[in-house]
């Protein structure tokens, strides 16, 4: 019995020492044991204010069509919370799970990268940025010297920066984990170095998007949440305020992730792409930029296999689905917003899980949600 007491005391002592010396971000990571779609309740947030709500039109055949049982069962196997299909700016189909509704917030995770890219386009339209080949160092002083002085906004937009950010999700010690759970994301970004020639290889790094957010803030003199509110959220007629998670109280937005809103409001980003930057009678973003952002940058090589990049634009993914080139936003737990131009349709899926299997550069379940959407759109 004494032996058991000694072992127990030893374990408790080790845990206490770890608690006292472990960095704060690591304790937070162990507390959460992985990202969750309701992490906005765990982190500090900044509000992205909306203005007057412009509701979606409900189609006359709303939810009259059902999905084939096999597709529906497979969708449910990935623990969804929402699935939405909009065509011609009318809601055709929507379904909710796990107590979620049209008003429930969900973390976007990396789908937020596409939002930041849109804000870069708006700042460019407003001449806050001269051009995409302008050096990042014009906006972030730490990038005006050393290995980073020639790094351009375009190279960061296309994930070809050559920076030494460690993009790993399986270890709590990676740069990505420190960015997600830490309290000083600016220091992480400004400490990066260019270790490979920029503009050659596509290498997906969340730090690139954080740099873009810092560029937007420097160029506009506004927090990215405020700029997003003024230039996107209010013009798009969002139904409710959104939240952007911060690294600490009154800190910096985790711009590479963590934009929180509901499924119908996420769809507004997809519709903006379909409208080539126009919402109602207002030009929100120039058509040229939208087309450029959602066109694959095949002059780059994929670092993984040396093949041309036919799947990524400016922080937007592009999937070839049965001959359709479909731009989409993507988050790590299966947050997807698809813009299907040929069908004038937006498809949104939110949930807790996504497939671990990939087809090329796309998670396998991407094709499942497109299969489901086309079941609705082709009837």
What CATH number does the domain containing 172 carry? 3.40.710.10
| Residue 7: per-residue pLDDT | 41
| Residue 255: per-residue pLDDT | 97
Residues 248 and 321 in one domain: yes
Residues 165 and 195 in one domain: yes
Residues 168 and 299 in one domain: yes
The answer to whether 166 touches 191, Cβ cutoff 8 Å, is no
Residues 122 and 89 in one domain: yes
Residues 73 and 8 in one domain: no
Residues 117 and 264 in one domain: yes
Which region among 175-189, 198-212, 222-236 has the lowest average model confidence (pLDDT)? 175-189
Exposed/middle/buried for residue 127 (C-beta within 10 Å: 0-12, 13-18, 19+): exposed
Residues 67 and 12 in one domain: no
Residues 235 and 104 in one domain: yes
Question: 316-354, pLDDT tens digit by residue?
Answer: 999 999 999 999 999 999 999 999 999 999 999 999 999
The answer to whether 172 touches 26, Cβ cutoff 8 Å, is yes
CA 306/CA 300 separation, integer angstroms: 9
Average pLDDT over residues 140-157: 96
Residues 56 and 157 in one domain: yes
CA 329/CA 110 separation, integer angstroms: 8
Question: 216-238, pLDDT tens digit by residue?
Answer: 999 999 999 999 999 999 999 99
Average pLDDT over residues 33-61: 94
Residues 8 and 114 in one domain: no
Residues 348 and 225 in one domain: yes
Matching residue, tokens 């990571």: 29
Question: 66-78, pLDDT tens digit by residue?
Answer: 999 999 999 999 9
Residues 111 and 27 in one domain: no
Please tell me what DSSP assigns to residue 360: T
Beta strands in 90-156 (DSSP E): 90-96, 106-107
pTM for the model:
0.92
Number of separate domains in the chain: 2
| Domain carrying residue 364 | 39-377
């Amino acid at each position: 019995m004494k032996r058991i007491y000694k072992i127990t005391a030893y374990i408790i002592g080790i845990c206490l020492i770890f608690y006292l010396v472990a960095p704060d971000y690591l304790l937070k990571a162990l507390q959460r044991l992985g990202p969750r779609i309701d992490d906005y309740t765990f982190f500090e947030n900044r509000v992205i204010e909306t203005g007057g709500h412009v509701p979606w039109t409900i189609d006359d055949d709303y939810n009259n069509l059902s999905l084939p049982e096999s597709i529906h069962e497979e969708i449910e196997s990935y623990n969804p919370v929402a699935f939405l299909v909009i065509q011609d700016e009318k809601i055709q189909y929507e379904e909710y799970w796990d107590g979620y509704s049209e008003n429930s917030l969900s973390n976007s995770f990396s789908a937020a990268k596409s939002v930041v890219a849109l804000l870069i386009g708006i700042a460019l339209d407003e001449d806050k940025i001269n051009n995409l080949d302008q050096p990042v160092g014009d906006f972030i002083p730490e990038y005006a010297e050393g290995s980073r002085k020639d790094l351009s906004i375009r190279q960061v937009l296309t994930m070809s920066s050559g920076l030494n950010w460690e993009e790993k999700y399986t270890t709590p010690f990676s740069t990505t984990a420190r960015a997600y759970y830490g309290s000083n994301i600016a220091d992480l970004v400004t400490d990066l170095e260019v270790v490979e020639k920029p503009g050659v290889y596509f290498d997906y790094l969340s730090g690139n998007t954080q740099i873009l957010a810092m560029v937007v803030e420097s160029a506009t003199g506004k927090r990215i949440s405020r700029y997003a509110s003024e230039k996107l959220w209010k013009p798009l007629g969002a139904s409710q305020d959104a939240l952007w998670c911060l690294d600490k109280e009154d800190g910096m937005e985790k711009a590479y992730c963590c934009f929180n809103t509901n499924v119908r409001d996420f769809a507004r980003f997809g519709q903006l792409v379909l409208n080539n930057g126009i919402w109602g009678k207002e030009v929100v973003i120039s058509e040229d930029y939208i087309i450029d952002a959602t066109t694959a940058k095949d002059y780059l090589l994929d670092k993984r296999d040396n093949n041309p990049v036919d799947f990524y634009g400016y922080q937007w993914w592009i999937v070839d689905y049965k001959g359709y080139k479909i731009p989409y936003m993507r988050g790590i737990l299966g947050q997807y917003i698809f813009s299907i131009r040929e069908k004038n349709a937006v498809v949104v899926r939110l949930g807790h899980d996504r497939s671990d299997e990939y087809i090329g550069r796309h998670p396998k379940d991407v094709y499942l949600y497109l299969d489901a959407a086309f079941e609705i759109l082709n009837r």
